[in-house]
A = this chain, B = another copy of it.
Amino acid sequence: MFYHTKKLQYFKPPEKPDPIYAKKIQELIGGTFGEMTVMMQYLFQGWNCRGPAKYRDMLLDIGTEEIGHIEMLATMIAHLLEKAPLKMQEEGALDQVVGAVMGGTNPRDVIMAAAMNPQHAIVSGLGALPADSVGFPWNGRFIVASGNLMADFRSNLHAESQGRLQAVRMYEMSDDPGVKDTLSFMIARDTMHQNQWLAAIEELKADGLEDTPVPSSFPLDLEKREYAYQFWNNSEGTESAEGRWAKGPSIDGKGEFEYVENPKPLGPEPVPPQPDPRLHGTAKDKSLQGESGSSKKIIG
C-alpha cells in the first residue's frame, strides 16, 4: 500500500515559461526511458520478485521514489506551459515580425504557437501528458520484469544509462536556472541508480544466485558450445577483428573468443511444407491448390 506527502522530493521552478521545452521534456516523463518506465519497471519487478527480501524491498523503494519523479516533472511542465501562446494571429504573422523590429509583439510567440505540442492546449489544458516528446503514449511494452534478477538488473542499468543520457541532453538544451537545477538533482539520482544496479549485479554474484551467461542456471552442455564464443564477420573488411570481442578469453571465463573471418552457413536451404488447400495459398504446383476444402474430408 502507498502513501503520499504533498511536498516534492526536490524542485526549483523554471524562471520563464517555454512551451517548446515543455514539449521536449515530455520525453523524460513518458518516453521509452522516462520516469513512467522506471517507476513501472521497478514496481512490477518488486511485485513479481521471488528472490531474497533485500532485493524485493530495494526494488519497491526505488520504484516508489520514481513515482515522485513523474510528479516533479509534471509540476515542471505546468510551469513551463504557463501563458503559452494559443494561436498564431493569421494576419499578424507578417506584422509581428515586422513589429519585432519596430518594438511590437514577440515573434517567439508565433513560433511557439506553431510548434508546441497541440495536445498541451487542446487535451490537457496546459498540463503534463503521459506521452513522449513527439506525443506517442507511454505503453506497457516499455518495461520488463522477467523474474530473473540478473536479466532485469541489466535492464535497469541500461534504462538508467539511457535515462541519464537523455536528462543530460535536456540539461544542455536549456539556459533556465530552475530547469537546470532540478535536472541536476535528477541526473545525480541517475548516477546513484547506475551505481545501484551495478552493485546489485555484484550482490547477485556474491550471493551465488546469478552469473554470466544469463540465465546461469541453464546447464551449459545443453547449448552448442562450439558456437558460444565465435565472432562471425558477416561483412567484408575486418575492422571488427580489432576489438576485445574477437580474441582472448571470454568475459565469462568459460571459453576463448574466436574470429570467424569468412563465415559460411551451417544449415540447409529451407524446404517449406506445401500449403493446406483450404487456405488458398499459392503452391509449387497448381494441383496442390485451388479446390475448396468444403468438399473434402476436414482434418481439424
For the complex of A and B, list the 4 residue pairs with the smallest distance between their C-beta atoms, beginning with the closest.
A125-B147, A85-B300, A134-B135, A48-B127
Tell me how many chains of this kind the complex includes.
6
A107 touches which of B94, B147, B229, B236 (Cβ 8 Å)? B94
In the bound complex, do residue A122 and residue B166 qualify as a contact, i.e. CB atoms below 8 Å apart?
Answer: yes
In the bound complex, do residue A169 and residue B265 qualify as a contact, i.e. CB atoms below 8 Å apart?
Answer: no
Whole-angstrom CA separation of A67 from B274 in the bound complex: 24
In the bound complex, do residue B2 and residue A67 qualify as a contact, i.e. CB atoms below 8 Å apart?
Answer: yes
In the bound complex, do residue A60 and residue B235 qualify as a contact, i.e. CB atoms below 8 Å apart?
Answer: yes
Q: Apart from A72-B267, A124-B146, A151-B158, list 4 A-B contacts with CB within 8 A.
A: A2-B65, A47-B128, A86-B293, A187-B223
Q: Known contacts A51-B283, A192-B230, A280-B168; decide if A141 and B151 are in contact (CB<8 Å).
A: no
In the bound complex, do residue A245 and residue B200 qualify as a contact, i.e. CB atoms below 8 Å apart?
Answer: yes
Chain B residues within 8 Å of A87, by CB: 21, 173-175, 298, 300
Min C-beta distance of A101 to chain B, whole Å:
6
Whole-angstrom CA separation of A252 from B166 in the bound complex: 20
Chain B residues within 8 Å of A243, by CB: 54-55, 58, 199-200, 203
Chain B residues within 8 Å of A40, by CB: 130
Q: Known contacts A137-B141, A217-B291; decide if A97 and B100 are in contact (CB<8 Å).
A: yes
In the bound complex, do residue B119 and residue A133 qualify as a contact, i.e. CB atoms below 8 Å apart?
Answer: yes
Smallest CB gap from A73: residue in B: B47
In the bound complex, do residue A24 and residue B173 qualify as a contact, i.e. CB atoms below 8 Å apart?
Answer: no
Chain B residues within 8 Å of A144, by CB: 32-33, 123, 162
In the bound complex, do residue B154 and residue A215 qualify as a contact, i.e. CB atoms below 8 Å apart?
Answer: no
Chain B residues within 8 Å of A170, by CB: 122
In the bound complex, do residue A114 and residue B266 qualify as a contact, i.e. CB atoms below 8 Å apart?
Answer: no
